[in-house]
Each structure stands twice: as C-alpha cells, then as structure tokens.
Structure 1
Amino acid sequence: MKRFRSYLALGAAMLCAGAAPGAQSENRNPTCPASPNWAANQVMTLTPLDRGGQRVLLAEGMITAGLANRLRDALNADDEISEIWLRSPGGDAYAGNEAGRMLRTEFPGIVTRIPSGWACFSACNFVFMGGMVRIVEPEGQFMVHMFTHTGNRDAIRQEVEAGTDNTVALIGEIEQSSAQLATEDNDFLIRMGVSRRLLSEVMYATQAVGDGETRRCLTQDEAYDYNVANVRE
C-alpha cells in the first residue's frame, strides 16, 4: 500500500539538520510566534487532497470527542492518503490521546507532519505523536503546555466565593482528574516511543492557568532529542 511504502522511504531519509523557530514572538511566550497559525474551526475539518505528488489529509481546527472515529473513516475511505498534516489549537485532551492511539494501532504506516508555519498545540500534540513517522518542518510549531482541567478561572473564582467546602471539593476534583490525565499521558508517550522527559521537563513544567500562562515551542533539536519528531527532511 502506498501509505506503507511512504513510511519505508521516509524512514531511510533520516538526516541531521537544525532550524530555529519563527523569529516573531510575544514576551509571555518567547519561544513561540505571537500569532500561531492554527485553524479557527470549532470542529477539526479533515480534507483529503493532492500535494506535491502525494495524497495527504489536512486536519485543521479544534479537537473534539469522536475525532478518532472521524480520522478512521477518512483514512479507510481513501487508502492513498500517506500523511496527515496538522494545524490545531488543541481541544479535548482525551480525544487527542484516543486519536493518536488509534493511528498507531490501526494505521502504523501513516506519517504525521506539522508543515512550516503551522502550529500544533495541546491535544494536537498527541494526535501528531500517533504517527509512526513524525515530521516537524523548520518553522513548524510543536507547541506545548501543561495539560489541565482548570482553564475556566471564572468558575474557580465562583467556587472560592461560595465557601471553603465548595473550594476544597473543586480542588480535589481537579487534582484527581489531572493525576489521571498525567498517568495516561505517561503511558501514551511510552507506547509512542517518545521520551517521558517531555512530560517532566516541558509539558508539566509549564504553567497553563493564570496571568503567567506560557506556551512552549520546541526547537528542531528539542523535537528530535525528545523523539517527538523522528525524521528530518
């Protein structure tokens, strides 16, 4: 199948080359572009088309529940697709994890790519890591933050104002849910062959909530050091 042949050809093309991330940045997130190029679609669109003599699937927009099934259907409907190109602000962390596992299990020859100038953030990271062959092009942004369920600060403030009992209960729920997600993330990285140092040194070392929120874009060297990407073109 073309998909598997593409995988073998790319596997033989591993090279050692480096590139710096985009020059434009914001003070709070100095390693990332000020305006990341991710799609504004509220539900990720999946568009098969021909690019550069090969069949690719553009995956653009927010990751929501059911993405794994939608990706499966799209790939089964067109077995000429050899790569998935990702451009996403993230979304449902569990859905991203599920989609990545599905790709590795059911489509082991698929290539995932973050094209130059595109950004793959948060839950998108896990879809990307589901590819057996993973490419982050120079100027492509593999952008991470600490995964958390506390994105709605107004809800937390309301609970604090409601009283101590409510606040303690909310914090307990957050801690339990975050610990469960961290365990799943760790297991996912092991299965995908990605260094677990990515969690301890980057993903869970970056604040995700509050005025000091930061994003982290891996350099090309970091992407290969953590084995997030495993092919350089």
Structure 2
Amino acid sequence: MSWRHKGARLGLAALAFGGLTGATGMDPVNPTCPLNPDWSNNPTMKLTVEKRAGMKVMLAEGRVDPGLPDRLSAALKANPDVTEIWLRSPGGDARAGNAAGRVIRSNFGLGTRIPSGWACFSACNFVFMGGQPRLIDPGGVFMVHMFTRTGDRSAIDMSVALGTDATKELIGDIEQDAALLASEDNAFLIKMGVSRKLLTDIMYQQRAVATAEDKSTRRCLTLDEALKYGVTYAPE
C-alpha cells in the first residue's frame, strides 16, 4: 500500500469519529458546528515548521491573506521535507485560498490535515483541498458557507455616499465578480478531485446573511458528506 493510500485510510478512520465534533458545545445558531471554533485570530496566516510525531509539518494558522500563496511557496521551497500542512483558519481572501491550494498540489504527495479541535472555514477549505492526501482528525472541523463579495465595507460605504448610480455600479461589479469566482471555484474543485456538488448541494445552500427566520450561515460537514463529495478519500 502506498503512503498516499495509507493516509487515505487514516483520514477515513479519523472522520469516523468526526460526528462527535463539538458535541458538548454546539452552536445553537449553526447546529452542525461547534460554538467556539478554534481557527486562530492571526490577521495573516502564520507558517511555522515543526517536528510532530516524528515528521516535519507546517502549521498554517490564521487568516488567508493575499500574500499567502507566495509565502507558502517560499516556505515549502525552504523546507522540502515537510510532509503535511496543518490548517487552522477562519478563511479570508477566496482567490488566495485557491492559489494556495494549487501551490500545495504542485508539491506531489504533500498532505493537508485539520487536527483535532482545529477548524478550517471558508477560504481555508480551498487551501485544504490542495492536499494529497487530505486528513481530518477526530474533532477536526471542516466548516463551509456561502461566499460573498461584499466584504469591503469601505468601498460600499463610499459608493452609497456618492449616490445611487455609484451604488448600482458597485453592485454590478460585485455580482459580476461573484459569478466569475463561482466559475473559478467550480474548476478548482474538479481539478482537486472534489465533487463540484459540494458547491451546489452544500455551500450554495447556506445563507450569506442571517435572517430573523433562519440565522444559520455555516455548515460543518458530516462523515458521509466528506466522503460523498470527495473532501477526504475513501479506502480501497
């Protein structure tokens, strides 16, 4: 059995216990997810190389920022014997997440892992998908949501101040960019061996903004979902 296939079996075993994630502290607003996910408050993702369990791993902790792909590429070149990247992140820049995932995939056999108690949310999902294999430890959290392109509050506020025409123009730009990003995400998932139905069946089904009737905006994948959509590998 190859190292990659051994990793796949380990990932399946880990996910078998994943249904217990946050069982004693679930979020009443997002009931599939823990109340207090551990995803690091670093404003930019910090990359730290350490020895863990007899292997060299890279801890990737914090927000996915636009400079991450370049930093990650440089860090991997400086540490070619890293075997896994361990992820803990609240997400961040969507395109940087896709680019960082491609950097990981370009390093053949480099695995990604969500350790027990750590959470990988939003753009972090796409960083994680670059791994071969992809492992989720018991208690690790793979959390998804509906992406939005309205995170730049300063641009929105300025357009409102400038008047109706400027606001309409910004909304049009946001909608156009959101459609383009959806296409990019779809192509990325296919390339990484993840079903594009993860987008249509799970991610796009979440609310971008909470309402009075339904405040849930996040979803943590179950074992069955992670296997169904190819987020992790099933044993042969």
Q: TM-score, normalised by structure 1?
A: 0.88
Determine if contact 1:10/1:231 at 8 Å carries over to the other structure. no
In the TM superposition, what whole-angstrom CA distance separates every residue of 1:64-103 from its partner, at most 9, and x where no partner exists?
Answer: 1121221122122122210000000111111010010121
Task: Give the match for residue 118 of structure 2.
Answer: 118
CA distance in 1 between counterparts of 2:158 and 2:232 reads: 42
Task: Give the match for residue 54 of structure 1.
Answer: 55
Determine if contact 1:133/1:231 at 8 Å carries over to the other structure. no
CA distance in 2 between counterparts of 1:154 and 1:42 reads: 18
Unaligned 5+ residue runs, structure 2? Answer: none
Determine if contact 1:134/1:229 at 8 Å carries over to the other structure. yes
Task: Give the match for residue 141 of structure 2.
Answer: 141
Task: Give the match for residue 18 of structure 2.
Answer: 19
Task: Give the match for residue 81 of structure 2.
Answer: 80
Task: Give the match for residue 7 of structure 1.
Answer: 4
Q: Residues 169, 210 of structure 1: CA spacing in aligned structure 2 closer, same or farther, 3 A cutoff?
A: farther
Which of 202, 217, 226 is equivalent to 2:229? 226
Q: Residues 14, 129 of structure 1: CA spacing in aligned structure 2 closer, same or farther, 3 A cutoff?
A: closer
Determine if contact 1:39/1:87 at 8 Å carries over to the other structure. yes
Q: Structure 1 segments of 4 or more deviating over 6 A? A: none
Higher deviation after alignment, 64-73 or 162-171 = 162-171
Query: Once the 2 structures are TM-superposed, how far is the Cα of residue 114 of structure 1 from its aligned partner?
Result: 0.4
CA RMSD after TM alignment: 2.2
Say how many residue pairs are matched. Answer: 227
Determine if contact 2:144/2:218 at 8 Å carries over to the other structure. yes
SS in 1 for 2:51: strand
SS in 1 for 2:75: helix
Query: Once the 2 structures are TM-superposed, how far is the Cα of residue 170 of structure 1 from its aligned partner?
Result: 2.1
Letter in 1 for 2:198: L
Q: Residues 13, 62 of structure 1: CA spacing in aligned structure 2 closer, same or farther, 3 A cutoff?
A: closer
Letter in 2 for 1:169: E
Q: Residues 147, 18 of structure 1: CA spacing in aligned structure 2 closer, same or farther, 3 A cutoff?
A: same
Letter in 2 for 1:228: V
Task: Give the match for residue 90 of structure 1.
Answer: 91
Q: Does 1:41 align with 2:38?
A: no
Q: Does 1:28 align with 2:29?
A: yes
Query: Once the 2 structures are TM-superposed, how far is the Cα of residue 159 of structure 1 from its aligned partner?
Result: 4.5
CA distance in 1 between counterparts of 2:134 and 2:155 reads: 38
What is the identity percentage for the equivalent residue pairs of Structure 1 and Structure 2?
55
SS in 2 for 1:202: helix
CA distance in 2 between counterparts of 1:210 and 1:163 reads: 27
